Amino acid sequence: MVKKQPIYIVGHKNPDTDSISSAIAYADIKNRTEEQTYVAARAGQINEETEYVLKRFGMEAPIYLSDVGTQVKDMEIRRTPGVDRETSIRDAWRIMTESEAVTLPVTGDDGHLEGLVTKGDIAKSYIDGRDSRFLSKARTRFSSIAQTVEGTVLVGDENRVFSKGKVIIGAAHPDTMETYLEPGDLILLGNRYEDHLRAAEQGAGCMIVCVNAKVGYSIRKIAQKTGCIIISTPLDTFTVARLIDQSIPVSYIMNKGQLITFHTEDYTDDIKEIMANTRHRAFPVLDKNGAYVGTISRRNFLGMQKKQLILVDHNEKSQTVDNVEAAHVLEIIDHHRLGSLETIEPIYFRNQPVGCTATILYQIYGEKGLDIQPQIAGLLCASILSDTLMFRSPTCTPADQAAAESLARIANIHIEAFAREMFHAGSNLLDKSPEEVFFQDFKKFIAGDESFGVGQISSFDEEELELLRERLAPFMKTQCGKNGMTMVFYMLTDILKESTRLLCFGEGSRRLVEESFGITGDQDSYMLQGVVSRKKQLIPAFMSTLQENE
């Protein structure tokens, strides 16, 4: 039976508080109203502001999901059990036959893979010519020998290993036994007392007495004294001779060098070529800790399950998790402009012109008649305050403010005091590297042939923003040309003054700003009075200008 995969709810890369909180809240809604399992995820590292909010309300961060390409764990892994290295090749063949497997993993006590045995390996070991010391070279346990010949150990320790001597059949006259029986040998005998006595006296390492022949008390006493193992079997000598080689442990014939293995976290795109160019029929799969899980084969690609996703707080392909085209997008909950993401089939798409995705989640809780837990209410309230800059952004609607005030009551927080604490935590970036600051809230946009990136930091502290400007400007120059971006912009937004110092770099970046806002500036930066929103003010202006210039 194929294991049912969870559905991941994930926000955009470089996630902000709204992206993280919306994923957590929508997973809560889905898990409380549907039987499927929904998991909140994130496509990037959490910023300072969001980390503060999560800690403030005692919530765990969503799991990290940077790539949604199909992985080995999304395939139907054959759960063929591993066997102990002491398992006989006869038992190994039986297990493989019963499980219809052609490859059998050999594992240690800790579950780690030690080797592989195929049916071909077993057939080859049984058919190939070899000397009569095969069992002792393989260090076969007497318990395995007894089990293989359907016998019982009458004398001696069955856990001992047959490590010295050859296998012979005692068919000659007892008087001639001394010419071919050496100390430590394993000898197959019938029901003659004389043969039993001579073998025990001459130091046989093991006697296999066939057809349940009686072994006298005196013979047993001698065997105990000399350390000879006595095994009694109901089988005849010919059958025992034919079966005994099947008692050797699989460790003797297993392939244990340069094994081709895959891990559950490996991406299928990375292993396809290896599987196609290797003649193995099955490949072992290991978990994160290196323990054996099962096997896969080329045919498992046919029934592979794509990851299922719900996207929140974005619908731009450039902003979503890597390899999204290899996944199955089921829903999108967003409040941004329509982006470039395409789906194979119709999906549920809820997009509202509000200031925050968290406002939509608040509405969905009400529509479904679900109570909102105080911790989640705190997360959603923080998201609205962050996205609307505490209701100062032009993106803010009456619905956002009403939702935030209701959520604040549930979470038992004072909006203005909490917002100041949150924004201070989010803008306290002086201990971080320019790269960490730059990508804290950075998004890539595509308009026709143009590709550009815009980051934003909002703060109540004008002096702090100026210090960040000095650190970010040099780093911005290193980002032009990367990931196809020809222009890079950064918004340093002063919440109290409701203005933004816009940094820009790249060919055509200054012209784009000047044409979009009808201003001029110098030193690659511009002061934009009344501009605080990337989504509703900056990006629409840029897009309009780029379209006009096409």
Domain parsing of the chain, residue ranges: 7-69+306-426, 74-127+252-301, 139-247, 434-548
Those residues whose C-beta lies under 8 Å from the C-beta of residue 153, and which sit 6 or more positions away, are 142, 143, 146, 229, 230, 231
- Burial of 258 from C-beta contacts in 10 A (0-12 / 13-18 / 19+): exposed
Q: What is the dihedral of CA 492, 494, 497, 499, to 10 degrees?
A: 20
Using DSSP's 3-state secondary structure scheme, residue 488 falls into strand
Burial 455-494 (b: 16+ CB within 10 A, else e): bbbbbbbeebbeebeeebbebbeebbeeeebebbbbbbbb
Q: d(Cα 179, Cα 289) in Å, to the nearest integer?
A: 56
CA dihedral of residues 393, 397, 400, 405 (deg, nearest 10): 90
Q: Give strand ranges (E) for 119-249.
A: 140-141, 152-155, 161-162, 167-169, 186-189, 206-209, 229-232
Q: What are all long-range contacts of 511-514, with beta carbons under 8 Å and residues at least 24 apart?
A: 512/487, 512/542, 512/545, 512/546, 513/489
pLDDT by 10s per residue, the chain, length 550? 445 789 999 999 889 999 999 999 999 999 999 999 999 999 999 988 999 999 999 999 999 998 888 888 888 888 888 888 999 999 999 988 888 888 888 988 888 888 888 888 888 887 765 678 888 999 999 999 999 999 999 999 999 999 888 998 987 777 777 778 889 999 999 988 888 988 888 889 999 999 999 998 999 999 999 999 999 999 999 999 989 989 999 999 888 877 888 888 888 888 888 887 777 778 888 988 888 888 888 777 766 778 899 999 999 888 899 888 888 999 999 998 888 888 888 999 999 999 999 999 999 999 999 999 999 999 999 999 999 989 988 889 999 999 999 999 999 999 999 998 998 887 767 678 888 888 888 888 988 888 999 999 888 888 888 888 888 888 988 888 888 899 999 999 998 888 999 999 999 999 999 999 999 876 788 999 999 999 889 999 999 999 887 6
Query: Are the C-beta atoms of 125 and 107 separated by less than 8 Å?
Result: no
Q: What is the pLDDT of residue 3?
A: 54
* The CATH fold of domain 74-127+252-301: CBS-domain (3.10.580)
Look at residue 380 in the predicted model and tell me its pLDDT: 98
Strand order in the sheet with 348-351: 63-64, 38-42, 7-10, 308-312, 328-334, 348-351
Closest CA to 21 of 332, 357, 321, 324: 357
Largest CA distance in the chain: 117
Q: Residue 205 and residue 208: Cα distance in Å, rounded?
A: 10
Cα(289)–Cα(264) distance, integer angstroms: 10
Query: In the 8-state DSSP scheme, what is residue 205?
Result: S
Q: Are the beta carbons of 400 and 356 closer than 8 angstroms?
A: yes
Contact criterion met (CB below 8 Å) for 428 and 467: no
> How far are the Cα atoms of 63, 310, 351, 516, 536 from residue 354, in angstroms, in the given order?
27, 19, 9, 24, 10
Q: How many CA atoms lie within 13 A of 422 on its CB side?
A: 27
Task: Report CA 530 to chain centroid distance, whole Å.
Answer: 46
pLDDT score for 527: 92
At residue 502, the pLDDT reads: 94
Superfamily classification of domain 434-548: DHHA2 domain (3.10.310.20)
CA dihedral 451, 437, 45, 263 (to 10 degrees): 80
CB–CB of 68/247 below 8 Å?
Answer: no
Q: What per-residue confidence (pLDDT) applies to 357?
A: 97
- Do domains 7-69+306-426 and 434-548 share one topology? The answer is no
Q: Domain 139-247 is of which CATH architecture?
A: 3-Layer(aba) Sandwich (3.40)
d(CA 81, CA 12): 40
Cα three-residue angle 188-126-105, rounded to 5 degrees: 115
- Cβ–Cβ under 8 Å, residues 378 and 24: no
3-class SS at 176?
A: helix
Helix, strand or coil, per DSSP, at residue 345: coil
Q: What is the dihedral of CA 423, 424, 425, 428, to 10 degrees?
A: 120
Angle between the N-to-C axes of helices 357-367 and 374-387, in degrees from 0 to 180, rounded to the nearest 10: 140
Read off the amino acid at residue 442: F
Assign domain 7-69+306-426 one CATH number from 3.40.50.150, 3.90.1640.10, 1.20.120.530, 1.10.287.130.
Answer: 3.90.1640.10
Q: Where in 464-546 does DSSP place strands (E)?
A: 487-494, 499-505, 525-529
Of 98, 12, 20, the closest CA to residue 52 belongs to: 20
Amino acid at position 459, single letter: S
